[in-house]
Amino acid sequence: MKHSRFSSKAILLHSANFKETSLIGTFFTDTYGLIKLVVKGAKAKKSRFSNIKVPGAVFEIEFGGRGELKNLYTSEIIDSVVIDESNLKIHLYLHEIIIRTLELEAPVKPIFESLLTILKEIEKISDASQKEIKLRQFEFQLISELGYEFSLLNDCNGKMIKKDSFYEFIPNQGLRETKETSEISRLNVSKGSSILKFSEGAFENDQSKKFIKYIMRSSLDTISTKPLNSSRFFRLKKDAN
């Protein structure tokens, strides 16, 4: 960043108390990626930043300063997602994986746009399995954008996935054919048909759900500097309010 004042669309992912009346907000922006900003006076009763606590808000912000910790100057709500209580943990989990996997000030505009899309789509879907599909697809895009992509159509040796063969997942490598004959004997093994079904946007069965979740979480844990823990993250959010 070369200039002293910047503007961007942003989503507040997390906030923590800072001094007596201020907060440190972790924002995800479309232009600058993940940034941390001091929000001065945010906890005061008549703060001009009271709007940053609005759930599901999308902001146009102005900020500036030197170093990794900058100051928030203005925040205007330009869009919002109405969050159903039943989807709150999904929203918090999506916020968490962004914080855990992205480096500060590393622009990833496709991920910002995809995050906005999935946050809105989740609220329109009532079927739990469809929500899970959307979540796994977002995780896969995030993994791919960060350079840890693996194929769902070919194994790690470049051979096409075969419906009737079994595959195990190796983090940082991908899918590898295995002699395993029992589809449910190991969490990290699945039939090729289940993998191909997910690549088409659906789950073949409950075992397929578990396997796809396993390979995404394994990859994210490899990328992340800390283990993903949404329940602890939820408590942190409450403490900061």
Q: What is the pLDDT of residues 80-112, one digit of tens each?
A: 998 999 999 999 999 999 999 999 999 999 999
Tell me: the pLDDT tens digits for 20-31? Answer: 889 999 999 999
CATH number of the domain at 43, please: 2.40.50.140
User: Does residue 163 surpass a pLDDT of 90?
Assistant: yes
Identify whether residues 107 and 194 lie together within a single domain: yes
Residues 178 and 240 occupy one common structural domain: yes
CB 168 within 8 A of CB 160: no
The residues facing 58 across adjacent strands are 79
Number of independent structural domains in the chain: 2
CATH at residue 211 = 1.20.1440.120
- pLDDT band at residue 207 under the 50/70/90 scheme: confident
The CA distance from 30 to 9, in Å, is 6
Assess whether 67 and 120 both reside in one domain: no
* pTM confidence score: 0.87
pLDDT at 17 over 80: yes
pLDDT for residue 189 is more than 60: yes
Task: Show the domain range for 92.
Answer: 85-241
Please determine, for residue 6, whether its predicted confidence score (pLDDT) is greater than 60: yes
Are 39 and 22 contacting, i.e. CB atoms less than 8 angstroms apart?
yes
pLDDT range class, residue 162, cuts 50, 70, 90: very high
Domain boundary at 63, 80, 97, which?
A: 80
| 109 shares its domain with 76 | no
Render pLDDT for 224-241 as a digit per residue (tens, 0 to 9): 865 555 444 444 344 433
Domain end, chosen from 46, 80, 114, is at 80
Token pair of 2 as six digits: 């070369």
Per-residue pLDDT band for 185 (boundaries 50, 70, 90) equals low
Same domain, 114 and 12: no
Domain co-membership, 119 together with 163:
yes
Q: How many Cβ atoms are within 10 Å of 139's Cβ, its own excluded?
A: 21
Examine the domain organization and report whether 109 and 52 are in the same domain. Answer: no
Looking at the structure, tell me whether residues 95 and 182 fall in a common domain: yes
Task: Kindly state whether residues 43 and 89 are assigned to the same domain.
Answer: no
Residue 171, token pair as written in the block: 């983090």
pLDDT at 171: 86
Q: Which helix (H) or strand (E) holds 132?
A: helix 128-145
The answer on 56 and 95 residing in a single domain is no
